[in-house]
Structure 1
Amino acid sequence: MIGEVENDGKKASETPEKIKELLKEFQDILPDDLPNELPPYRTHQHEIVEEPGSKPTFRAPYRLSPAELTDMKKQIEYLLAKGLIRPSTRQSKKNKREDQKELNKNPPVILPDPERDYVIEADASDQAVGAVLMQDQGNGLQPIAYLSKKLHGAELNYPIHDKEALAIIIAFKAWRCYLEGRRTTVYTDHCSLKYLKTQPNLSRRQVRWIDFLETHFHYDIVYKPGHKNKADALSRPAHVAAIQVEGMNPLLKGLFTHGYAIDPEISLAEKRHLLQWDSDIAYRKGSTKIWVPNYPPLRQLLLEEYHDVLYAGHFGSNKTLTGIAKHYYWPHLAEDVQKFVTSCDTCQRMKSSKQKKAGLLQPLPVPEQPWQVVSLDFITGLPPTSSGHDAILVVIDKFSKMGHFIPTHTTARTEETAQLFVRHIISQHGIPTTLISDRDPKFTSKFWKELMSLLGTKLAMSSAYHPQTDGQTERLNQIVEQLLRAACKDDISKWDLHLPVLEFAYNNATHAATGQTPFFLCYGRHPLTPQKPTTPATVQPAHDFITTMHQLWDRTHKRLLDIQQQQKRQADRHRNDHTISVGDQVLLDTRNLDISHLPSKLRPRFCGPFLVEAQVTPVTFRLRLPATWKIHNAFHVQLLKPYRDPNTIFVGRQPPPPPPVLVQNEPEYEVESVLAHRRRRNGTVELLIRWKGYDPSEDSWVSETDMGNARRPLHDYLVKQGVTSTTQL
């Protein structure tokens, strides 16, 4: 101000002496007509009216363009979401200023010299690219500028070769004003880019990039390993650091030290400059991964930590390898992980098989004439009729596909079933040479086997829990049930009265496999029906009739063979041949076993291992099962899985079951726990025992009176059941 205003604001006083001296000193630059008083006082006030609830802005305007600001916001949001950065919690800027002072002692960048050549180091990751522009101005290579860019859209789908090339293209476009007219050396950690200009096959994208580079720049592409490439740090998260050896378990570190001392491969790796040492721990050169010596106890310990422990999850080979390869390395690591995981006893028992079905299809021989090979089975679960029938005995001829539906009851004894077979089959069609059935007790009984032996019939039974052996009868059962549902929709209590008519309907229908009706293949004519028109009867000579029938049977036999081979080719596309042989140890699928004390979702998928005693057929094997198992011991290969003993490859990985203890010269096994109980018809209480150190497949029922020296597990079970004595169970 030049003058001072009086209190009323209307009259200016004289200019102060200090101001006069200042005006006199600078009179050569001040105007001559300088006013000696303030402007006239305004009669009204000026003000800015704020909107209710609004606040004035106290930040300086951002100097980036809107597009640049948007891109920066996206990058910050991405880094925040990934947890790579966080909002600052610093209470003061003092430390920051001190850090900046230290950093500024050596300038991080230099100004470019247009008379010197340039150097670019470029790199790419899955999500972004980065580059550094440098120049040697007498003090070695020093940075001029840094560049990083997040990939978007289709760029994220580029192969790694094109992502690395894209980093170079982006760098040349960003620093084009410096690089045009000067020689530029480009360093990349992708070796194949050295041959970018000379490779024979180029995509359109690569042609555009090369055209851009060749048109505007003089450049050379040189390979440099990633750990020596400065731009590699721009694509590497800051939190990825070397493992802190100081925090390693002393016992584990001792195993490493001992392993390095006895492993001859360590000295060889040092000669080849593959190692770098830190605190007596060897690292793979250019990496943060610890080099694990060839010391089996140490490698097995690491494999167990990344696979067997509870928090490792017993995952497969790929996930286990990914986990251990984050921090450790040794030659053939992937191969060792594969062997370790595939031989894991827990994984073999608990995990379902994801492989193709084992065992190629083994078709039964095709018969050459009707009723030579017969298959039979039961349909049960039907409502009882007034005649007492609640089941159907289904018999089918494997050649003509003719079927007989014989009503019976589920309580029928083996002798009654044999009488039905003689009355309805043998009396009408003769004695078959082969009889195929499932493992129903009626067919496995001694009486039935002796009857078939006297009749000269071969008894072919399906393997345990594999009804595909008798697949044709299983399919016919479905057809019979379908016919019954349609015939008995009004009254299901008289279903047995409909069976003769339904049998006629089935046998008079053309079969897809033979192309003929079962009636015609058996008798050489079609039966009379109400719909059949009346035609003059013609009698064919006997010789011609026999010839015609044999020709028909030959064609049918050939057709069945062709269909069978076609079905085999189709089935084998989804199957693998097995490698099981006699003497092997195998695991048995538990899907058909009665393990009632375990819920189905949590029960082991396989049990065993069991010894293969004999090979019954190319795809059926007889196993040595525990004596307490009351099931047939022949199983199809689809229910078996080769057992890989963990101790074969990794010695001592799993201890064998403990031997029995001799008590008064009698061997006794230690009881781990009591799982369940049951009461026999004679009142005896039996307990399901889990033996200590043995697989759950060895669980067995033991009488309470045999629990002599195992009273503690029995007492614990009674407490859990809320009783004090087995008589209360």
Structure 2
Amino acid sequence: LSKPFLGTFDPVTIPNASTRDRGGTGFEADLPSTISAQPYGADRHEKTDRVSPSQRTHPAIHFAIRCPSTLHTEIGRKPAHLRGATVFSKLDLRSGYWQIRMADNSIHKTAFRTRYGSYEYLVMPFGLTNAPATFQSEMNHILRPLLDECVVVYLDDILIYSCDMKQHVEHLRRVFEILRRERFYVKLSKSEFALEKVQFLGHMVSAQGVHVDPKKIEAVRTWKTPENVKELQQFLGFANYYNRFMPQYAKLASPLTNLLKKNTPYKWESKHQEAVEQLKQALTTAPVLILPDPERDYVIEADASDQAVGAVLMQDQGNGLQPIAYLSKKLHGAELNYPIHDKEALAIVIAFKAWRCYLEGRRTTVYTDHCSLKYWKTQPNLSRRQVQWIDFLETHFHYDIVYKPSHKNKVDALSRLAHAAAIQSEGMNPLLKGLFTHGYAIDPEIPLAEKRHLLQWDSDIAYRKGSTKIRVPNYPPLRQLLLEEYHDVLYAGHFGSNKTLTSIAKHYYWPHIADDVQKFVTSCDTCQRMKSIKQKKAGLLQPLPVPEQPWQVVSLDFITGLPPTTSGHDAILVVIDKFSKMGHFIPTHTTARTEETAQLFVRHIISQHGIPTTLISDRDPKFTSKFWKELMSLLGTKLAMSSAYHP
């Protein structure tokens, strides 16, 4: 027997309050028992105490049973049956476990002691090893006719969904008939009816899809920095629950999960704090995941990096490709040593395994940025691992692999960049939003753009009209921050100006953004120090030889764009002797043909100074024409022309 202890709750209220709540059938008191557990209290949302016996004092009397249950992640991972639903209700059973009576031969196992004596539960208490599985099994049994038709149930939480109000009333009636027949009671104060969106299992469910509960977003914003392993595990557990909403979860969480490895000292560094902030940012801007349509084909984009693989499942339901679910997995052990070809293939295999419930029996298009995977199924020489992967895919799925360059691949962000285009559910980081708000207030260009109807506003953020791109105000600290985010940070990779511009222009724009990106990248100290020079070295200067006598080497060019004279001339043919620098300035026309230019050259130059040995000119069409070349060839004059684009 365990001796009673004083808890933070009042033990006097345990038998009285609980017995009243159960109508006098919850406990039997003052019974001798060879088994006894300590009671403990837990605060509930209703500001009342829930009393449970701690069964840790006698674990040997229990063996765990397994029950197929509606996992708490089903709403996020397998919501296909919710498609088309527009009306939702949520029921919460009153002290759900207490609505299951204990078997007579197990009542003595629930005994617990207080200073007022021993008590035994006549109903199933909270805290028993098999209580969740027993309760879930009972709920699945009584609601089986309605499961995946209009009901999702997880323990004592019941979600009812329908396509319209008339159908919803009928579904509610059927659910209540079952609960009445089976004598299960609903707590009205915790139930909600006929809503367009409803909070369920930490998610917000609506006709548009599934996204993170706003209350959870607020909780993660205020989450303090983990100070020990236990607090870090709590934070990662919370973040991992919503990992399907975060395209780059495995990559972002990698520095933190490394801290949890065996024999690794808990030493908090800047990279860990940065990882926490990035996870918070990813969660607070989590996308809305659309509900899959089983009648449409699916699209997967998969990619791999050195440390992680990622994929996104999408469908085109009339509004372009939109995400259904994200997947990201950190590589471990031998996987880290796979060649890049196998890592890219592994990303595809993991995606099909994770989303098998959607993809079996449906045509799927897989986009990858690894070109050789297009010919994967027809390669003659495959390793045993590759054969196993292909056998799995060919046995269960109908798919095509299509090459898509990385700069066009959305899922490249799963293992590289932290920016993924998706429908935003809760706006942006409040600090960033504050910079935008201040920038809009001081930027004189914003009112002008509004007058010209170039902007549209949503949640105090300006967008280009008819686009999802955010207009960035002329506020240097904000633009500098965005440029650093897309170029300088670890996961941005210090790309060149073109790739950086492509990445940032997916989400933001401002006048002369290309010039700003070019200037920023070319002034990056890290890039200038570390990147090799890819520009070809300039050739050595080759000065022209000095002529031996006057009018041996002459140069020609035109001066154009002059106002016409009374005689109609609007250009000048300039001929300079390279030895004496003597020049002839011959009036001509801009529209003069090659033959006319040749006549001027013979009349004014050759007739007075003889035939030159070398003639220097640019690549004017007159000097590159067949007539001019043949004339100079007959005269024995060598043509020396300046190089194109480098006169």
Q: Same fold (TM over 0.5)?
A: no
**What TM-score does the superposition give when structure 1 sets the normalisation length?**
0.26
**What TM-score does the superposition give when structure 2 sets the normalisation length?**
0.29
Larger-gyration structure (1/2): 1
